[in-house]
Amino acid sequence: MEHPSRRLDFVTIDGLLAYGECLARRQPSDDLLLPALPATTADRRRAAEAAVEAVRTFVHRAKTGFEDAAAYRAARTTLFADHCAGDPLVFFAAWNTCLASGELQPLLHIPIKTVSKPTHRRPVAIVPRADLTPQLAEGRIVLDLGDDRFWLLPRDLTGRTLLFTMRHGVSRVESKTHRVGRRLMNRLDPERGFPRADSVGAALARMVGVVAQQLDFLHLSNYLNPRAFLHFISRSPNTEQLLHRVVAALVPDSESRPKPALEPALESSDFGWVTGMEKTLEAEEAARAFGVDVKSAKALLKDPLYCYPGGNSFFDLYVDVIDGLHGVGRANPGKVACLYTHSSTLRALMIYLDARPFHEAFTEFSDYKESQDNVVLLTFEQGRLSGYSTAVGLSERERIAREAWQTVERERRDRVALKPRQVKRLVALVSGGDFAGAGAALKELRVTGNRFGLDVRFVRHGFLGLANNWIEPVTEHHTRGMSSLASSPIGSSRFEDFKDERVQQAAMKHLAPYLNDSVVVVLGGDGSLRGARAIYENFGVQVIGLPGTIDNNIDGTTSLGFHSAVALANQSIESLKATSSAMGSIFFVEVMGAGSGHLALACAYQARAEGLLVNEHPDPDAYIDEIILGTLKRTLGVPNKSHLFVVAERTPHRHHREGGVHGLVDHVAETIAQWPQRQVKADQYPLTLATKATILGHTLRGAPPTPEDKTIAQHLAYETVRRVVEAPETIVGCMVAYRDQGTIATIPLHAVAAKPFNWALFARMHGSEAGD
């Protein structure tokens, strides 16, 4: 993520004041509740400059966290009233000046109870067919929603709340093109809004009806009685209009309309003086005020911490929504609550429910608009909100992704030429960075392959070997002792030319004799699996991929080499911890993983390292200053305490252009030397604290294979051979994945994706996980 101070260096107090004052002079209309125009203050500039310091203090104080959203709001109100003289423009200028210099970033991580994302797995509400396991279904009602998705409902509502969260659909002023927000009394569009609201109601009624039948059938008491539902709306008329349409569908014969309650958490964003403006006009106005192009101006307006003139930021709304919905859940146990709200509320909810950190999820859901999900189904249980999904069809994004997937998956199957028991030969190669366990996999491919009557060949040095025709027959004698060998006994390579289709074409000449009755097994990381996919899709080679990379960055599987790399790293880490605790020294251990921090996290977690610097971190400089130096400030000098930090290769920071441990050691040593506690007093002889870096680098790729890696390798290889012989249509064109407890699954090569970083574990390591 680019640092805000670089993107927003055009933002100045003068620019902010000029822009804010210009907007504050807009003529209000009847349906807009714009903030009052502040009195003209000659000293507004000076007041804003002074308030910048107060914003900094606010951010500093915020880092210690807040009990709830109300406490956060109160602190913000004090900042506004006491340090900005209650002038929204002074607040606007001071706040956004700090935003532009990057000083507000820590707010995205402040612990606010009930708003911090839980680090535990959430109870899921809606799951795709592929993920529906007996464990998930246990004790739940499983309802088929169509489209291969299932809704898991509790068998009774004791201690739980069901929340049906709906947005208004299409209103007269559309949030796609305009800043709508809580200050504009918006109504449903008569032509498009009413039918949309009716379809939301019909879909909900259908689902409620189906569940009720199932509850009847299961002899469970029906807690889905629409007459007993609670209804909550915002102040905007369109939410009440939606409520009436939905209730008409849920209880068609009802005489009396339910009385909804106003719920503040359902209010939309506060856009202050921008309310009602066209978004393009807003961006043009900002571009003019700051003297930049529209694209640059949008970078400011789209920032989640950007505070609208006279209004709030998206982050403020997020805090209110998440805290407020927990409140609704807590206050109504055993009930079903229908919540009628706005797109920004649902966006906040999606971001919260997504497992990724706020800033990543914020980007993912940035295009959350009219055409997307209309109903979010939630269960509040054990103090937490559960997973989500749509009830009215799929969201636009989901549908597109799903259709594309189905088409490609059909094409994968169409390309499988092998029939059961037709395969006669198996050709294997290892590609990309080498890894432990390759030997064990190759040996098992040879042994099981021969047992199933296959002629087995190995290619030396990966795709490079294909291009050079280094394909060799293999016998028992070649693989003797191979399973315990480190790295790849048949070599590997990075061969960038293979991305060129002409080079692939040339390699095909050498594979020609194998095209009819053979399977090619590619062992390697994500890049190698892309190479495998290329020859499958471009030339119809019958390919199977096996995951092998110390990075362990492929989703849905453990990759070969990972466990061995962690085991070897652990030996060095434990040695360094021992000497650290004896000598009081500080150690930074750099492990590989320039593109992904899974290896670094695993090494750091099992060794109980003091901290972990990875590429995925949104702000490594802040991590160095706050966590690494902060920890050392507390722990240096504690008797027998070790000080060891794991650093992923090339993690960028401002102390060296190569990142990683480079420059870090000097920076830490120099900073520590300045600390008062390190100043030597007369007659004192403190321990000399060395600060050192150890780069484990390629040693981890050549790690000896652990029993775990050898076992995984054998499972993967055995299943590869068995399935390609017996049911090739289930495995050709796929990566064979190793799941927990020895389960083997296949993932189409076109669906191989990056493994998300385990932020939950990261948070737990730092003692900052939320929850009970």
Ligand X SMILES: Nc1ncnc2c1ncn2[C@@H]1O[C@H](COP(=O)(O)OP(=O)(O)OP(=O)(O)O)[C@@H](O)[C@H]1O
Which positions touch ligand F6P (CB under 6 A)?
Answer: 433, 494, 549-551, 592-594, 649, 701
User: Is 494 a residue that touches ligand X (CB under 6 A)?
Assistant: yes
Residue partners of 1: CB distance under 8 A and separation at least 6: 359, 618, 619
Residue partners of 412: CB distance under 8 A and separation at least 6: 536, 733, 734, 748, 749, 750
The residue from 169, 432, 465, 545 that contacts ligand X (CB under 6 A) is 432
User: Is 526 a residue that touches ligand X (CB under 6 A)?
Assistant: yes
User: Which is closer to ligand F6P, CB of 474 or CB of 592?
Assistant: 592
Q: How far is the CB of 600 from ligand X (least distance, A)?
A: 14
User: Is 216 a residue that touches ligand X (CB under 6 A)?
Assistant: no
Site for ligand X in 6-35 (CB under 6 A): none
User: Is 549 a residue that touches ligand X (CB under 6 A)?
Assistant: yes
User: Is 97 a residue that touches ligand X (CB under 6 A)?
Assistant: no
Residues 593, 469 contacting (CB under 8 angstroms): no
Q: Which does 592 bind (CB under 5 to 8 A by kind): ligand F6P, ligand X, none?
A: ligand F6P
The residue from 340, 365, 458, 495 that contacts ligand X (CB under 6 A) is 495
User: Which is closer to ligand F6P, CB of 519 or CB of 569?
Assistant: 569
Rounded to 5 degrees, φ, ψ at 325 are -70, -35
User: Is 501 a residue that touches ligand X (CB under 6 A)?
Assistant: no
User: Which is closer to ligand F6P, CB of 335 or CB of 494?
Assistant: 494
User: Is 272 a residue that touches ligand X (CB under 6 A)?
Assistant: no
Q: Which does 594 bind (CB under 5 to 8 A by kind): ligand F6P, ligand X, none?
A: ligand F6P
Query: Hey, what are 198's tokens?
Result: 């009716």
Of all residues in this chain, which one has the CB nearest to ligand X in the complex?
527
Q: Which does 645 bind (CB under 5 to 8 A by kind): ligand F6P, ligand X, none?
A: none
Quickly count: other Cβ atoms within 10 Å of residue 708's Cβ.
15
Q: Which does 499 bind (CB under 5 to 8 A by kind): ligand F6P, ligand X, none?
A: ligand X
Check the CA dihedral 230-232-237-242 and report its sign.
negative
Q: How far is the CB of 534 from ligand X (least distance, A)?
A: 4
User: Which is closer to ligand F6P, CB of 243 or CB of 569?
Assistant: 569
In which residue are the tokens 């150690």 written? 587
Q: Which does 431 bind (CB under 5 to 8 A by kind): ligand F6P, ligand X, none?
A: ligand X
Q: How far is the CB of 516 from ligand X (least distance, A)?
A: 23
Closest C-alpha to 274, from 93, 26, 88, 95: 26
The residue from 527, 556, 652, 702 that contacts ligand X (CB under 6 A) is 527
CA distance 601 to 646: 8
User: Which is closer to ligand F6P, CB of 590 or CB of 719?
Assistant: 590
Residues 534, 541 contacting (CB under 8 angstroms): no
User: Which is closer to ligand F6P, CB of 20 or CB of 548?
Assistant: 548
The residue from 268, 269, 296, 528 that contacts ligand X (CB under 6 A) is 528
β-strands 160-167, 336-341 pairing: parallel
Displacement of CA 740 from its chain's centroid (Å): 21
Rounded to 5 degrees, φ, ψ at 266 are -95, 0
Q: How far is the CB of 731 from ligand X (least distance, A)?
A: 20
Q: How far is the CB of 496 from ligand X (least distance, A)?
A: 5
User: Which is closer to ligand F6P, CB of 518 or CB of 549?
Assistant: 549
CA distance 724 to 518: 10
State the DSSP H helix or E strand holding residue 605, giving kind and residue range, or none if neither. helix 598-606
Residues 741, 133 contacting (CB under 8 angstroms): no
Quickly count: other Cβ atoms within 10 Å of residue 109's Cβ.
19
User: Which is closer to ligand X, CB of 458 or CB of 463?
Assistant: 463
User: Which is closer to ligand F6P, CB of 344 or CB of 564?
Assistant: 564
Q: Which does 705 bind (CB under 5 to 8 A by kind): ligand X, ligand F6P, none?
A: none
Q: Which does 593 bind (CB under 5 to 8 A by kind): ligand F6P, ligand X, none?
A: ligand F6P
Q: How far is the CB of 435 from ligand F6P (least distance, A)?
A: 7
The residue from 235, 359, 397, 530 that contacts ligand X (CB under 6 A) is 530
Applying CB under 6 A, the site for ligand X has a residue count of: 19
C-alpha dihedral (177, 181, 187, 188), degrees to nearest 10: 50
The residue from 118, 310, 324, 531 that contacts ligand X (CB under 6 A) is 531
Q: How far is the CB of 635 from ligand X (least distance, A)?
A: 34
User: Is 463 a residue that touches ligand X (CB under 6 A)?
Assistant: yes
527-to-477, 489, 511, 552, 732 alpha-carbon distances in Å? 31, 20, 20, 13, 18
Q: How far is the CB of 64 from ligand F6P (least distance, A)?
A: 36
Secondary structure class of 206 (helix, strand, coil)? helix
Q: How far is the CB of 643 from ligand F6P (least distance, A)?
A: 25
Q: Please identify, among the stretches 47-55, 100-108, 331-339, 491-499, the one whose residues bind ligand X according to the rule CB under 6 A.
A: 491-499
User: Which is closer to ligand F6P, CB of 593 or CB of 733?
Assistant: 593
State the DSSP H helix or E strand holding residue 164, giving kind and residue range, or none if neither. strand 160-167
Q: Which does 463 bind (CB under 5 to 8 A by kind): ligand F6P, ligand X, none?
A: ligand X
617-to-123, 299, 360 alpha-carbon distances in Å? 27, 21, 11
Q: How far is the CB of 523 from ligand F6P (least distance, A)?
A: 12
In which residue are the tokens 């492929």 written? 554
User: Which is closer to ligand X, CB of 361 or CB of 507?
Assistant: 507
User: Is 536 a residue that touches ligand X (CB under 6 A)?
Assistant: no
CA distance 702 to 706: 12
Write the secondary structure of 165-185 as one string of H (helix), E (strand) and C (coil): EEECCCECCCCCCECCCCCEC
Residues 306, 313 contacting (CB under 8 angstroms): yes
User: Is 534 a residue that touches ligand X (CB under 6 A)?
Assistant: yes
CA distance 682 to 591: 41
Quickly count: other Cβ atoms within 10 Å of residue 358's Cβ.
20
User: Which is closer to ligand F6P, CB of 234 or CB of 553?
Assistant: 553
User: Which is closer to ligand F6P, CB of 184 or CB of 565?
Assistant: 565
Q: How far is the CB of 531 from ligand X (least distance, A)?
A: 3
Residue partners of 386: CB distance under 8 A and separation at least 6: 122, 123, 124, 125, 378, 379, 380
Burial of residue 679 (number of CB atoms within 10 Å: 0-12, 13-18, 19+): exposed
Task: Kindly list the residues in this chain that would bind ligand X in the complex (CB under 6 A).
Answer: 431-433, 463, 494-496, 498-499, 524-528, 530-531, 534, 549, 551
